[in-house]
A and B are shown apart, each in its own frame.
Chain A
Amino acid sequence: MIIKRNDLKRLVEDLIGQGKRVIAPIMRMGLVEYGEIGSFDDITWDYINPRNSFKEFLFPQTEAIARYRIGKKDVELEGVIPELRETIVLGSRPCDAASTASLRSVFTWGAEEDPSRFRDDFYLMREGVTTVMTIACLKGDEDCFCTTVGLTPESPEGSDILLKETVRGNFAVTPVTERGKAFVEEWRDYITDEREDLKEIEYPEVLEGIDTGKIGARLSDVDVFDDPVWQEVARKCIGCGACTFSCPTCHCFDIVDEATGYEGERRKNWDACQFEYFTLHASGHNPRDTQFKRWRNRFLCKFHIYPTKFTSTGCVGCGRCIRVCPVALDIREVMEWLSR
């Protein structure tokens, strides 16, 4: 199935016309970011991977989860139902699409087997109204390494619909999920049954020195915790959360109250293991008292905790943490080290 560029435009304009939220890569302040578009022409097509992942549209950086007011006698509490708008992410990349499974693993941890366990409805409700239309990458940049962590520039995982560019500049449409199929059905008028040749997809090189299996095995050995390598590689880390906040699979949050006078909001805000106060105990003790320990945690989370607890992956190889790091700490170097 093919959707012509012009029909894609009509589709997008129609979705926007219906009041739906369309998220796509846009140019803002010299950076390509996923953002809400007001029209098809806002979309930037010349991009490899946007600065942010689209996780902020499923798991916002800050959101109210309850409101309260201190009355004369007692406290009035009010839950918050997130404002839900049907959302279409157009132009997601396969790595980012794959990361939604990683977020879902955490936000529904154990609830599949044991329904009494907590499920994060804020995340699930948003995910439930979101359709992910991925566009396969034609190439990666020097920091992309999806192929080293088991994905490819055309992997369908996590996408509802996978689009691939054709030589004529149109898109081949492959519905992946039920939601994707229903979407294609709904918009069938815009999609033809023609065939067109696809543009060639250039895979990022698989990094030979890296073996995620070996990394997992190494990390299962408790002694690796005290390996001097951590200090060696992460001494330069400045503990900004740039990597964590940019990472599509990082999911940590903090709950804070923000009050004005007698009323306030309880908010859920992104937090990051790279921050010094993330693990500070009320006693004053901090088990991760130096930066390399915080960085070690980030690495263990991706390559040990995820593979042992979940079926989803902890790192999708999007390369964002490498691009944003102000001290050029490259996660691949450590992966390579631990593959030995």
Chain B
Amino acid sequence: MDREKKLREKARELLESKEVDLVIGYGWTRYGKRVAPVFITRPEDVDRLIWNPMCVNNLTLYITRKYPDVKAMGRPAVVVKGCDAKTVNVLIQEGQLKREDVVLLGIPCEGVVYRQELYDGEVTKENVSPKCVVCDVKNPPLYDHLIGEKVEEGSGFEGARNIYQEIEELDKKPEGERWAFWMEHFERCIRCYACRQICPLCYCERCIAEKNMPQWIDTSAHGRGNVAWNLKRAMDLAGRCVFCGECERACPVNIPLNLINQKLSMVVEESFNHRPGYESEGHPPLIVYSLEDREDFIR
């Protein structure tokens, strides 16, 4: 079963029939053997499309309103892994996209690497992306065309680091230690905003970090500004983040953003019984409420 071949066939078919104008997928770069997003518009170029465990990017980023120039290229087909497909559900739920605006080429996936440079021909418990260890969408929950056979759900990465366990361990520590842990990380933040730029769900037209009348978040990369930035961003993704892991991967200083985002996902699931990305109906949990919401902390 050669997914790459099937993917190219399907892409060619879609482009030839003009069902789509553009296929957004993965391809090799010229040097260093890295994988990068590619934009294929001509049937004769479909052989540039590839699929392997280095295909880490969440390509749905390019069908958000952040990319008017990609939009101008016409109707897109996007290659999605399960976790990426969840993003599409949230985008639809938030009115950013209509289901018919995009053709999804869903790829049953057996896990990708955490960072491309760690890949050595095999995904192992050492180099696997933490999202894949706890993944339950190896077969995309949403697609128009499934590329190849379905795979078995379930981890298969026994012994790999488990993000939920790490969160629990952090939870058990005394406050002061948690504060020290996060401050050590946040103080290293260089405020490049790669985390925001790569996140398909960070699509605000003007980010609060860029509003300066008043200046809510100091733009300086000092502790004060960095804490405000990282807490605010985590809060704004609560109940929306699909754990595609892109923010942490893009962060040039290795801030463990997955920990903070998934902590809030756990809180949202416990409190409101909501898991983002599994359906496109309804509303994101933080823009609605229930009369039953707990208030044991309110006096």
Contact = CB atoms under 8 A, between A and B. Distances in A.
Are A and B in contact, CB atoms below 8 Å, in the complex?
A: yes
A241 B221 CA distance: 13
B69 A62 contact: no
Contacts of B185: 29
A330 B31 contact: yes
Contact of B250 (A31, A242, A322): A242
B36 A327 contact: yes
**Chain B: interface secondary structure?**
mixed
Contact of A328 (B29, B39, B188, B220): B29
Contacts of B197: 238-240
B69 A235 contact: yes
Interface in A41-59: 51
B57 A327 contact: yes
Interface residues of B, number: 42
A133 B39 CA distance: 45
Interface residues of A, number: 43
A328 B30 CA distance: 10
A326 B37 CA distance: 10
Contacts of A86: none
A272 to B, nearest CB: 8
Interface string A237-276: 0111110111000000010101000000001011010010
A245 B37 contact: no
A146 to B, nearest CB: 15
A236 interface: yes
A31 B69 contact: no
Nearest to A256: B219
A323 B249 CA distance: 12
B95 interface: no
Given A245-B192, A258-B220, A240 B69 contact: no
Contacts of A315: none
A272 B197 CA distance: 14
A231 interface: yes
A245 B36 contact: no
Contacts of A330: 29-32, 34
8 contacts: A235-B39, A239-B197, A256-B218, A270-B191, A291-B69, A330-B32, A333-B29, A333-B31
